[in-house]
Amino acid sequence: MQASINELLPPFADGVHLTEAELLACRNLARALPDRKARARAAMSGHRSSLIKGRGMEFAEVRHYQQGDDIRTIDWRVTARTGKAHTKLFVEERERPVLLLVDLKHSLYFGSTLLLQAVQAAHLAATLGWNAIQQGDRLGALIVSDNQQRELKPRARDQGILALISALNQVHSTQLQQTASLSPSELMAHSCRQLARIVKPGSMVWIITDGLGFSDDCLQALTSIKRHSEIAAFVVSDPLRSGTLTLPKRFALPVKDNGQTLLLDRHSYEAWLSRQQQEMLQFEQMMQSLKANVRRIDAGINLNQQLNLLR
């Protein structure tokens, strides 16, 4: 059984601890994701033309010259070949700030099958981070735990992703050895307010969380972000918390949850499961009220089998 579990684990991972090697390996997952900017350029083709060609401008297509077009963008070769004036269209390439809110509070230090939810959250954050820098975006993060918050300002290329990997490793290592100091609702309300202070207009914000502890205070802060930036979220769950794990009719299941050790039988498990699912549902409804896309990621399944949810 242990050998089969090891075969299912991501490269260099043991499911509990984090290493630099396993987060660096997430680069291969990011390479499997589609080129977002290529799709964006295709959607924007013909919508606008540049006044001056230069750095940060990328050729899109040629179309018939229209009154008001800058004569400096005329494509003389196509014009000579067709006998009709044609102008070049360009799209502007900009480095967009991508901010990750990575929730590593104690409720994510839970795992029944393959990985701790916190480990899966770190793998997901690293994969999204690698994808961001591959697209030419600047990567930053707010990593949240019960005893610290690490703010990483958006940085380009390797500086952004290597800072993220280092911070994830450090926060996770510390969190494994400490106990909760704040209630989930206090922690997430403070985190969302801080996120609202640091997000710049035009950013892409990814929230990676288990969905627990998000209150009306969080909604207020996220609403202010949504006015000028994009928001999307991933809820990292566990088979035991989502009710997908097959259990015998009778059992006594010890569960360590948010610093407390519980002994669950069938009846108490159903009540516990209902509370877990209700909080996740409330978070998903909050995201839907913001018109923000939200998807669930299972910590009991290797992330490479869930890449369709990241596309």
**Site of tokens 């609702």:** 185
pLDDT above 60 for 25: yes
The pLDDT score that the predictor gives to residue 71 is 83
Q: Which two tokens stand for residue 203?
A: 């950013």
Is the domain covering 2-36+95-310 a CATH 3.40.50.1110 domain?
no
The pLDDT value given to residue 35: 74
How confident is the model at residue 91, as a pLDDT? 54
Percent of the chain surpassing pLDDT 90: 71
The pLDDT of residue 46 is 43
pTM over 0.75: yes
- Average pLDDT over the chain reads 88
Specify the pLDDT at position 57: 52
Annotate the chain with three-state secondary structure. CHHHHHHHCCCCCCCCCCCHHHHHCHHHHHHCCCCHHHHHHHHHCCCCCCCCCCCCEEEEEEEECCCCCCHHHECHHHHHHHCCCEEEEEEECCCCEEEEEEECCHHHCCCCCCCCHHHHHHHHHHHHHHHHHHCCCEEEEEEECCCCEEEEEEECHHHHHHHHHHHHHHHHHHHHCCCCCCCHHHHHHHHHHHHHHHCCCCCEEEEEECCCCCCHHHHHHHHHHHCCCEEEEEEEECHHHHCCCCCCCCCCEEEEECCEEEEECHHHHHHHHHHHHHHHHHHHHHHHHCCCEEEEEECCCCHHHCHHHHC
**Does residue 41 have a pLDDT over 60?**
no
Q: What is the mean pLDDT of residues 117-141?
A: 96
Residue that wins the pLDDT comparison between 147 and 59: 147
Which pLDDT tens digit goes with each residue over 47-94?
A: 443 333 333 455 667 888 877 777 888 899 999 999 999 888 765 556
Per-residue pLDDT at 259:
67
Q: What residues does each domain of the chain span?
A: 2-36+95-310, 38-92
CA angle at 8 for the pair 6 and 14, rounded to the nearest 5° = 45
Torsions phi, psi of 205, nearest 5? -115, 120
Task: Give the pLDDT confidence score for residue 61 in this predicted structure.
Answer: 78
Task: Give the tens place of pLDDT for each residue, 275-291.
Answer: 999 999 999 999 999 99
* Residue 47, pLDDT score: 43
The candidate with the shortest Cα–Cα distance to 146, out of 177, 125, 122, 116, is 177
How do residues 241-280 score in pLDDT, each as one tens digit?
Answer: 999 999 998 989 888 776 678 899 999 999 999 999 999 9
Least confident of 95-99, 110-114, 219-223: 95-99
Question: What does the H/E/C string look like for 162-184?
Answer: HHHHHHHHHHHHHHHCCCCCCCH
pLDDT at site 73: 84
> CA-CA distances (angstroms) from residue 119 to 103, 192, 200, 229, 267?
11, 21, 28, 27, 29
Q: What is the pLDDT averaged over residues 187-207?
A: 95
